[in-house]
């Protein structure tokens, strides 16, 4: 097996020794490597001094473990470099000064273990102690894992419980290998994704708009609509329930209002939701909108340049960095995600599936006015006539409901759409 010895001269020395090797023989090997006499060496493991007559196996030293060598002739007393049972230094200040006094050791630590090097070079001894305890716990966990693997190797092959443990160990090994490969080849996958927000104005009021191509409709919260002076235009006939990732009440619809993106102005319609965790969501209906009286919108989400292009590229609005997104919006995104993970619920595939906040997908239970008069016996006949004109059945139904069953108005609406 291999052990690593931390010294004051050669920094870190790797020795290939037998598991039952005596401490005295290890010191003899170190004498060759460091030119420090065997009798001037003191070896410590887990804060305890290793006696010459002890064997490595009896001290619990395994493959990959680290031992500290303290020359007794050095200026630092050996007792100052001992470790407590939990892995922390008995005298952290002396331990810190001892490492700082060796420039080569510091350089090697900066290369191999930057967190520990920063803790030693810093002034926070509590941080250093906590890091030493953390490394000690990691080491103990590794030892327990190795012991469990060793026990499984000698387990009864006909024992059902042993076979289950072996199967679980093999599965976990695959997961660990997959995780390690991701850290090496896809480290950005562990970073938090910043959602797409841009600066907009709604009815002259500036706000941060969340751009969501997975949301069916553009959404504005009741409080935001009130702040923008639009709540007086709320059409409550369009009440309903929006479902998707979570569920929220649809309070109604604002049919048209002015928005400003860059220096361009457009007309926009909003679905008003009772959603305290969301202010304004710029949905797919507006991203795909075209043939406006003021010109085509033609939005393009350009992730390469990190901008939202509007008007066929005439205006490019940069997506906000995380520091520019208000904290109450970021917090509002995290809370529903945590609640969802605690409940074990999986997001649906429609609507705002990629958003962390619980903004629904707007699969309306009653997204347009429902009028019993529009559900008469001739309702199906009117649908058939509109379908014969070349319109889709669903579009015909929605148009008839929108105009309370008036076939002519519905046809005119469909022809003009």
Decide: 405 and 371 in contact? Cβ < 8 Å: yes
Question: In sequence order, what are the residues at sequence separation of 6 or more whose Cβ sits closer than 8 angstroms to the Cβ of residue 230?
Answer: 202, 203, 220, 254, 257, 270
Torsion of CA 13, 16, 20, 24, to 10 degrees: -40
Q: Alpha-carbon distance 286 to 308, whole Å?
A: 13
Length of the chain counted residue by residue: 417
212 a catalytic residue: yes
Q: Alpha-carbon distance 247 to 249, whole Å?
A: 7
Assigned token pair, 342: 């605690």
Question: In sequence order, what are the residues at sequence separation of 6 or more whose Cβ sits closer than 8 angstroms to the Cβ of residue 82?
Answer: 44, 47, 48, 49, 89, 90, 91
* Strands in 224-292 per DSSP E: 240-244, 246-261, 264-273, 280-282
Q: Alpha-carbon distance 140 to 156, whole Å?
A: 26
Assigned token pair, 363: 């699969």
3-state secondary structure of 357: coil
Q: Alpha-carbon distance 241 to 264, whole Å?
A: 33
Q: Alpha-carbon distance 77 to 305, whole Å?
A: 60
Q: Alpha-carbon distance 172 to 14, whole Å?
A: 30
- Residue of 80, 159, 212, 302 with catalytic role: 212
What strands, in cross-sheet order, belong to the sheet with 307-310? 300-302, 307-310, 315-318
Strands 66-71 and 205-211: unpaired
The stretches of 186-308 forming alpha helices (DSSP H) are: 222-227, 284-287
Torsion of CA 291, 295, 301, 302, to 10 degrees: 140
Assigned token pair, 223: 């409080």
Catalogue the active-site residues: 212
């Amino acid at each position: 097996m291999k052990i690593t010895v931390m010294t004051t001269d050669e920094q870190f020395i790797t020795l290939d020794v037998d598991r039952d090797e005596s401490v005295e023989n290890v010191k003899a090997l170190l004498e060759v490597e460091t030119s420090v006499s065997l009798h001037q060496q003191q070896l410590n493991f887990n804060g305890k001094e290793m006696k010459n007559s002890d064997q490595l196996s009896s001290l619990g030293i395994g493959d990959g473990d680290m031992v500290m060598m303290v020359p007794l002739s050095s200026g630092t007393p050996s007792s100052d470099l001992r470790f407590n049972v939990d892995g922390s230094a008995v005298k952290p200040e002396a331990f810190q000064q001892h490492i700082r006094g060796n420039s080569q050791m510091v350089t090697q630590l900066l290369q191999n273990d930057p967190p520990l090097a920063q803790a030693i070079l810093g002034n926070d001894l509590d941080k250093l102690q906590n890091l030493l305890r953390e490394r000690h716990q990691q080491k103990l966990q590794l030892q327990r894992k190795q012991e469990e693997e060793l026990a499984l190797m000698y387990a009864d092959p006909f024992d059902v419980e042993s076979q289950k443990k072996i199967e679980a160990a093999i599965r976990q090994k695959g997961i660990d290998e997959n995780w390690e490969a991701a850290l090496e080849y896809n480290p950005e996958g562990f970073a938090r994704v910043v959602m797409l927000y841009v600066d907009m104005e709604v009815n002259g009021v500036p706000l941060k708009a969340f751009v969501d191509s997975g949301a069916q409709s553009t959404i504005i919260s009741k409080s935001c609509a009130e702040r923008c002076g639009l709540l007086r235009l709320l059409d409550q006939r369009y009440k309903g329930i929006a479902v998707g990732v979570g569920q929220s009440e649809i309070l109604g619809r604002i049919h048209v209002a002015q928005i400003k993106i860059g220096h361009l102005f457009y007309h926009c319609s909003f679905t008003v939701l009772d959603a305290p965790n969301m202010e304004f969501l710029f949905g797919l209906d507006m991203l795909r909108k075209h043939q406006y009286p003021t010109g085509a919108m033609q939005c393009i989400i350009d992730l390469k340049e990190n901008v939202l292009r509007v008007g066929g590229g005439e205006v490019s609005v940069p997506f906000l960095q995380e520091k520019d997104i208000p904290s109450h919006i970021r917090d509002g995104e995290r809370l529903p995600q945590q609640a969802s993970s605690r409940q074990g619920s999986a997001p649906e595939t429609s609507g705002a599936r990629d958003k962390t906040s619980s903004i629904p997908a707007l699969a309306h239970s009653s997204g347009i006015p429902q009028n019993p008069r529009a559900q008469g016996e001739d309702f199906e006949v009117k649908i058939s006539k509109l379908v014969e004109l070349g319109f889709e059945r669903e579009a015909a139904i929605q148009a008839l409901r929108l105009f309370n069953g008036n076939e002519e108005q519905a046809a005119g609406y469909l022809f003009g759409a």
